[in-house]
């Protein structure tokens, strides 16, 4: 895992946030990998990689916290679902069944100062990532904040 973190850091240092997100996205089946920063009750995209390289949908640029799956990341320290339509934890949620699968982790500088979230998501259902990949994402989420643009 240390080698993966070293490679991830090299992508961030040499190619910036966009290259780091591309590296993370290549490791999972999800279409999108993004970083969202929480400001005044809204999550704002500060970086988003799309496997299909399409224009960013307006609805993904800024999402009210109460309408996002990131709210569960912030509340629980992480959140993952392979099929939102069948996930009872999401019953009644506005995006249940719209976003098919989601993995999110909190971003902090020191572990206690929440910056936002790192997430993989897709409009399609996707199998959960392996335990090893989830552990790597946790470590990547700890490294990522120092490479985010200042707000």
Q: pTM to 2 decimals?
A: 0.92
Q: What is the pLDDT of residue 120?
A: 97
CA-CA-CA-CA dihedral for 85, 48, 51, 120, to nearest 10:
-40
* In contact, 148 and 10? CB cutoff 8 Å: no
Per-residue model confidence as pLDDT tens digits over 1-49: 689 999 999 999 999 999 999 999 999 999 999 999 988 889 999 999 9
Fold of 2-147: Beta-Lactamase (3.30.450)
Look at the alpha carbons of 90, 91, 92, 98 in this order and tell me if their dihedral is positive or negative.
Answer: positive
Domain boundaries, given as residue ranges, for the chain: 2-147
């Amino acid at each position: 895992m240390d080698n993966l973190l070293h490679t991830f850091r090299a992508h961030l240092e040499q190619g910036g946030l966009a290259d780091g997100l591309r590296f993370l996205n290549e490791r999972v089946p999800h279409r999108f990998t993004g970083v969202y920063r929480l400001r005044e009750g809204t999550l704002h995209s500060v970086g988003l990689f799309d496997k299909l390289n399409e224009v960013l949908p307006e609805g993904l640029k800024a999402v009210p916290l109460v309408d996002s799956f990131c709210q569960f990341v912030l509340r629980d320290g992480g959140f993952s679902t392979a099929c939102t339509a069948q996930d009872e934890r999401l019953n009644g949620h506005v995006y249940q069944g719209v976003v098919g699968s989601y993995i999110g982790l909190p971003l902090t500088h020191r572990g206690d100062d929440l910056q936002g979230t790192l997430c993989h998501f897709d409009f399609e259902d996707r199998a959960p990532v392996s335990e090893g990949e989830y552990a790597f994402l946790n470590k990547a989420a700890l490294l990522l904040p120092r490479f985010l643009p200042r707000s």
